[in-house]
Amino acid sequence: MRIIDSQIHLWTGPDAPPHHWRAPFTAETALAEMDAAGIAQAINCPPIWDLNASDYAASTAANHPTRFATMAWFPLDADNLDQLAATTVTQPGVVGLRFLLGPDDVARTVHGELDSLWSAAHHRDLPVSLMTMPDDLPVLGTLAGRFPRMRLMIDHLGVLPHLKLPDAAKHLDTLLGLAHYDNVAVKATAVPSMATDEFPYASTHGLLRRVHHAYGSERMFWGTDITRMRSTWTECLTMFTDHLPWLTGSQLELVMGQALAQWINWP
């Protein structure tokens, strides 16, 4: 089984926000832990809190092209967003783009001020990973409808850090409704963080089943965001592979990496 973590952060600086308790997190550390857990590959999302993280992502992908790929970012207040997108995706290891959409960015999206970026992703068939406030998820549906060749991925099932069930799932009906768009997928990342119990985090299993029922194995991608997990990489992995009896065989293989590889065109 090809196992790909759909979201990790690699960086070399000493700092991180409070919910990321491991700092720094280097490629060497990640590779050792991935090998121990049986994880073949990972998507690195360079963190915004380390100014050198994007350069580090490029060098990491160049040095380990079969292990790491990058979802890159750049400031959304930059000029010529379409040209910046075209340049960014030529960097080593970049397979798509990832952005955090704060309230101002959502407002600019609603007013069409970021259309040059979304249009660039649409015309280049780019995967774009987005994290936003749960109340702003409907905006992603609007984007998906207007730019159908932009392949959207929603981070962390749309759940913000620190939220626990049932509050973490208040937006679930909205998230499930977005499955109507064929170009929207979800990253089932950081799931243990929303659990109210210990491994194998049975409190989350019903949520996962509902998401899987809506999106299917082709559009639901396993991952961890490991630097904010109190769980081990092995626990994050085996809660899916060993403790979801409704997810088996080829469907499990898709969720654990095969579907993501197809979505981002990672050979």
Which distant-in-sequence residues (6+ apart) come within 8 Å of 94 by Cβ? 58, 61, 69, 70, 71, 72, 88
If phi > 0 it is left, if psi is from -120 to 50 it is alpha, else beta; for residue 203 that is: alpha
Contact 199, 239 (CB under 8 A): yes
Q: How far apart are CA 161 and CA 163, in angstroms?
A: 6
Read off the pLDDT of residues 64-76 as tens digits, 9 standing for 90 and up: 999 999 999 999 9
pLDDT at 59: 97
Read off the pLDDT of residues 18-29 as tens digits, 9 standing for 90 and up: 999 988 999 999
Range of the domain at 29: 4-264
Q: Does the pLDDT value for residue 155 go beyond 90?
A: yes
pLDDT band at 45 (very low <50, low <70, confident <90, very high): very high
| Residue 20, helix vs strand vs coil | coil
Read off the pLDDT of residues 197-244 as tens digits, 9 standing for 90 and up: 999 999 999 999 999 999 999 999 999 999 999 999 999 999 999 999
Number of CB atoms found within 10 A of residue 50's CB: 21
Q: Does the pLDDT value for residue 267 go beyond 90?
A: no
Contact 248, 260 (CB under 8 A): no
What does the DSSP 8-state code read for residue 109? H
**CATH number, residue 219:** 3.20.20.140
Mean pLDDT calculated for residue range 39-60: 97
Q: Does the pLDDT value for residue 135 go beyond 90?
A: yes
Which residue blocks in the chain are alpha helix, DSSP H?
27-37, 53-63, 81-88, 103-110, 115-123, 137-146, 172-177, 205-215, 233-241, 249-253, 259-264
Phi, psi dihedral angles at 191 (to 5 degrees): -60, -40
Instruction: Count how many domains the chain has.
Output: 1
Q: How far apart are CA 47 and CA 72, in angstroms?
A: 9
Read off the pLDDT of residues 74-107 as tens digits, 9 standing for 90 and up: 999 998 999 999 999 999 999 999 999 999 999 9
Number of CB atoms found within 10 A of residue 169's CB: 21
Average pLDDT, the chain: 97
Query: And the tokens for 43?
Result: 């998507």
pLDDT at 183: 98
Which distant-in-sequence residues (6+ apart) come within 8 Å of 115 by Cβ? none
Q: How far apart are CA 158 and CA 174, in angstroms?
A: 10
Q: Does the pLDDT value for residue 129 go beyond 90?
A: yes
Q: How far apart are CA 224 and CA 227, in angstroms?
A: 8
What does the DSSP 8-state code read for residue 11? B
Q: Does the pLDDT value for residue 115 go beyond 90?
A: yes
